[in-house]
């Protein structure tokens, strides 16, 4: 009689992590970064209909890489969560931290369940504050911007001035660490992010090859999310050329 096939729990977790990492690394990177008036999302994405960047709630945006159908389902679930919480309590009670925790529980459960494959996605949930972080700290408030990165295994990290997901993030992060100024205007931050993506393995990227959106704290309506078209992105890059 043959011996039953056995894989140690430690090896199974390593295999599942390697599987998820390979799936996520196939796509282009996405950058979420602070600028003077808010938060900008910039993702390598030639499609103008299959979005990697989306609005979740009034002040909350979402960026994702990996398998499209998986992160699209997560995006829709996030919108439902935010709408239900805002309806049951108050729209101001919907926060990026609570949403990130909800995503973390879902991804972590799927990763640890051996019967199903893990999600091949990596997410960023960002929330723009009423004031820029430096001003908020100086005034003793807590209205600063929030950037949370959620990994395929459900781990959550509270990011600083930027977050990079997908692709091969090492080279992209190196450029942003040395050049990104989170107090700079939008055009400068977009130019820096584009250069980082190009150096990270996509030298051919142009305005038509990226998806760009912002959470603009200066907008009068409560909804701060704005998607930029190709002409607007080209105009921002032209200001820094």
> Mind listing the domains of the chain with CATH numbers?
48-239 (3.60.20.10)
103 three-class SS: helix
Phi-psi category of 106—alpha, beta or left, where left has phi over 0 and alpha has psi -120 to 50?
A: alpha
Instruction: State the pTM of this model.
Output: 0.91
Cα angle vertex 226, ends 99, 230, to 5°?
125
- The answer to whether residues 71 and 27 touch, using CB atoms and an 8 Å cutoff, is no
Neighbouring C-beta atoms of residue 84, cutoff 10 Å: 11
How far apart are the C-alpha atoms of 202 and 27, rounded to whole Å?
11
Q: What is the pLDDT along the chain (241 residues), one digit of tens a residue?
A: 565 666 777 888 888 889 999 999 888 999 999 999 999 999 999 898 999 999 999 999 999 999 999 999 999 999 999 999 988 888 888 999 999 999 999 999 999 887 688 999 999 999 999 876 666 555 555 568 999 999 999 999 999 999 999 988 999 999 999 999 999 999 999 999 999 999 988 788 899 999 999 999 999 888 999 999 999 999 999 866 5
Nearest Cα residue to 163 out of 70, 82, 62, 55:
62
């Amino acid at each position: 009689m043959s011996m039953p096939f056995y894989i140690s729990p430690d090896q199974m977790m390593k295999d599942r992590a390697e599987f998820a990492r390979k799936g996520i690394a196939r796509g282009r990177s996405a950058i979420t970064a602070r600028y003077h008036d808010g938060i900008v999302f910039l993702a390598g994405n030639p499609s103008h209909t299959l979005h990697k960047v989306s609005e979740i709630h009034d002040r909350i945006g979402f960026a994702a890489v990996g398998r499209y159908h998986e992160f699209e389902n997560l995006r829709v679930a996030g919108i439902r969560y935010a709408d239900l919480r805002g309806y049951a309590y108050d729209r101001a009670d919907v926060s990026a931290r609570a949403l990130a925790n909800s995503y973390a529980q879902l991804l972590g459960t799927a990763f640890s369940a051996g019967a199903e494959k893990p999600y091949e996605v990596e997410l960023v949930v960002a929330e723009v504050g009423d004031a820029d972080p430096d001003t908020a700290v100086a005034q003793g408030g807590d209205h600063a911007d929030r950037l949370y990165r959620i990994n395929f295994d459900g781990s959550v990290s509270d990011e600083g001035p930027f977050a990079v997901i997908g692709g091969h993030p090492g080279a992209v992060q190196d450029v942003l660490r040395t050049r990104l100024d989170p107090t700079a205007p939008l055009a400068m931050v977009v130019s820096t992010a584009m250069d980082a993506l190009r150096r990270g393995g996509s030298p051919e990227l142009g305005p038509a090859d990226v998806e760009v959106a912002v959470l603009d704290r200066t907008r009068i309506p409560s909804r701060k999310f704005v998607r930029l078209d190709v002409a607007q992105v080209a105009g921002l890059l032209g200001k820094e050329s």
